[in-house]
Amino acid sequence: MWGPGFNVSRELLLAIRQSNQQRVHHLVEGLVGALRQQREAKAGWSAETFGTSLWDFACAVQRLSRLPLGEHERAFWTEVTHVIRQTQVSLQPRELALFCNALASSPTVEPAQLLLKRAVELQAEMNAKDLQMVLHGLSHCAATGEDPGFPDLASRESLAATVLKVRLDKDHPVQAAQLLAAFVRLRHDNDAVLSKHLFDHAVETLPGWDVQSLTVLCTAIAGSRRAARASIELAEGSEEAWEAIVSRLVELLPKAKPWQLASLARALKKVGASHSSVEPFYDGMEELLTSTHRSDSLSPADLTFVVNGLAQQRCLQLRRPDAETTSLNDTQPLTSWVFEEQVGRKLHAFSSAELAVVLHAAMRLRRGGADFFDMLLPKLLESKNLTAKQLAHSFSASAAAGLYLSDLTRPMRLLRQLLPTCGMLGPSLTPWQLAYVAQALDVLAALRQRGLRGPYLWQDDAQASATVDVLCARAKEVPCAWFGIALCNFPAHAPRPQPFYPSGIPYTSQ
């Protein structure tokens, strides 16, 4: 069956085009067996032996990487890795690109390490498309975290320098977007020159960009480190550039898929653009969701990102209510999108982590009211292994609910059950998580002082002292100006109970 006159790679490609899965599996089984036999015989790769060129074989591997191979998958990649090891030094740019691109669907670090070495050797010969395919595949292997040292810094910097020199294809904007996204996955996400170069290319060719390309670009910029974002944010004309990108996104909103809406809603708050620059996108997204049935197609994860992005755009940071200026009777919703109906219909499909974010966003957007809080609370507390992120969102949601509902009964019902977890997770809270917890306690203390009714937070003095001690200790370990104001009400030691608080100590020091 194998040998001259029978090109197995082309037979595989034909079977794939014909959607003949049974024949594909039959051919893969035979191919794996033949490759194993050659490997065990310690014979080198031979196009004559297999009746197929390395180019045809690379094409077949790329197509097969996107198909379920069942029981043959592990053996298939073992033999492919061996072929790559044998032919590594002779791979041509496009053959290299095909093998690398195959790894995007089936990320495996061992062949990726071999291909990376060849990519560095061939970088001067590769065009933009080759680099796109190579980096796209290698970056997915790096994203698995299987080998923290992959790829090495020198290789990343060398390939980044090559990208700056190649001519990008203006007719394929996703190319530039995927290149930036690949470098973010490769942990080369602080290169200010590279980020600015690809961003400028996007602005210059913006009329040709579709929603897919812009989604990948914005997500990549949002995932970059501060140094890379600053090169865009601080550049002359940055404001106008982001306004143009957002304007293009608004045009494309009707064509956006649910996951693209969710990704953009999340990313545009993190790209470094001004509040006013991105506002038209959130206004347009809200109009789309209220005037069509697009909400029905949003998954729980998509809903979570969209609702949270809208809340971040529309709501001010949670602050201690000022006695003279802050009204506790303002219940006007900050969005006309009735997303709580969608959440209710899909409630059982949400994870507790997603519900914590949704509740936080809903209370800040003043949607759903007490009934929505009551609906989410039991599901939210089902999680036995609450994470620090869930804890922070739950605390902040409780404070936002106190402001929105003008009542402390429900917030306290949630927080009193979370206090033991707060004590356990306190030593591991990140700066923003600690800030959320501290700000929430500060806001709730102010609401109590404004006369809102509800049960007290602390069950006894020991619980109060232990919890506040943990938070204060963590605040000393992770100093950050962002939460300094919120923590100013925490004393250096745990506060002691005051006689005029019948059910425990004040929320803050006196």
- In terms of DSSP H, where are the helices of 205-295? 211-223, 226-233, 238-252, 258-267, 275-291
**Residue-level pLDDT at 328:** 65
Q: How confident is the model at residue 8 (pLDDT cuts 50, 70, 90)?
A: confident
Is residue 239, in this structure, part of any structural domain at all? no
* pLDDT, tens digit (0-9, with 9 covering 90-100), for 359-404: 999 999 999 999 999 999 999 888 878 899 999 999 999 999 999 9
Tokens representing residue 236 in the block: 């002359």
Of the residues 90, 119, 150, the one at which a domain ends = 90
**Residue-level pLDDT at 3:** 53
Q: Please name which of 485, 475, 471, 480 lies closest in space to residue 443, comparing C-alpha atoms.
A: 485
Is residue 76, in this structure, part of any structural domain at all? yes
Q: How confident is the model at residue 329 (pLDDT cuts 50, 70, 90)?
A: low
Of the residues 70, 90, 110, the one at which a domain ends = 90
Tokens representing residue 459 in the block: 């069950």
**Residue-level pLDDT at 34:** 85
Handedness of CA 28, 31, 35, 40 (dihedral sign): positive
User: Residue 488: is its pLDDT beyond 90?
Assistant: no
Q: How confident is the model at residue 508 (pLDDT cuts 50, 70, 90)?
A: very low
Is residue 44, in this structure, part of any structural domain at all? yes
Is residue 470, in this structure, part of any structural domain at all? yes
* Buried b / exposed e along 260-289 (16+ C-beta atoms within 10 A): bbbbbbbbbbbbbbeeebbbebbebbbebb
Residue 366's alpha-carbon distances to 275, 309, 403, 436, 469, in angstroms, are 20, 15, 9, 18, 33
User: Residue 433: is its pLDDT beyond 70?
Assistant: yes
User: CA–CA separation, 179 vs 182, rounded Å?
Assistant: 5
* pLDDT, tens digit (0-9, with 9 covering 90-100), for 153-211: 999 999 999 999 999 999 999 999 999 999 999 999 999 999 999 999 999 999 999 99
pTM of the model as a whole: 0.88
* pLDDT, tens digit (0-9, with 9 covering 90-100), for 103-158: 999 899 999 999 999 999 999 999 999 999 999 999 999 999 999 999 999 999 99
Q: Are 454 and 412 in contact (CB under 8 A)?
A: yes
Average pLDDT value for residue range 395-419: 94
**Residue-level pLDDT at 330:** 72
| 3-class secondary structure, 331 | coil
Is residue 80, in this structure, part of any structural domain at all? yes
User: CA–CA separation, 395 vs 391, rounded Å?
Assistant: 6
Average pLDDT value for residue range 86-96: 95
Q: How confident is the model at residue 300 (pLDDT cuts 50, 70, 90)?
A: very high
Q: Scanning the structure block, which residue is given the tokens 């170069």? A: 197
Q: How confident is the model at residue 491 (pLDDT cuts 50, 70, 90)?
A: very low
Q: Are 440 and 418 in contact (CB under 8 A)?
A: no
If one counts every other C-beta atom within 10 angstroms of the C-beta of residue 42, the result is 6
**Residue-level pLDDT at 7:** 80
User: CA–CA separation, 19 vs 13, rounded Å?
Assistant: 10
Is residue 282, in this structure, part of any structural domain at all? no
If one counts every other C-beta atom within 10 angstroms of the C-beta of residue 40, the result is 8
**Residue-level pLDDT at 453:** 86
Is residue 104, in this structure, part of any structural domain at all? no
Of the residues 40, 62, 90, the one at which a domain ends = 90
Residue 58's alpha-carbon distances to 113, 132, 397, in angstroms, are 17, 17, 52
Number of separate domains in the chain = 2
Return the half-sphere exposure (C-beta side, CA atoms, 13 A cut-off) of residue 398. 31
- Amino acid of residue 308: N
Q: Which domain holds residue 85?
A: 1-90
Least trusted range by pLDDT, from 2-11, 15-24, 306-315, 410-419: 2-11
User: Residue 219: is its pLDDT beyond 70?
Assistant: yes
Is residue 167, in this structure, part of any structural domain at all? no
- The mean pLDDT of the chain is 89
Cα-trace Rg, the chain: 28
User: Residue 22: is its pLDDT beyond 50?
Assistant: yes
Q: Are 211 and 249 in contact (CB under 8 A)?
A: yes
Least trusted range by pLDDT, from 133-142, 251-260, 345-354, 478-487: 478-487
Look up residue 497 and give its DSSP letter.
Answer: P
User: CA–CA separation, 386 vs 392, rounded Å?
Assistant: 10
- How far, rounded to the nearest angstrom, does the alpha carbon of residue 4 sit from its chain's CA centroid? 49
Q: 367 pairs with which residues across the strands? A: none
- Amino acid of residue 2: W
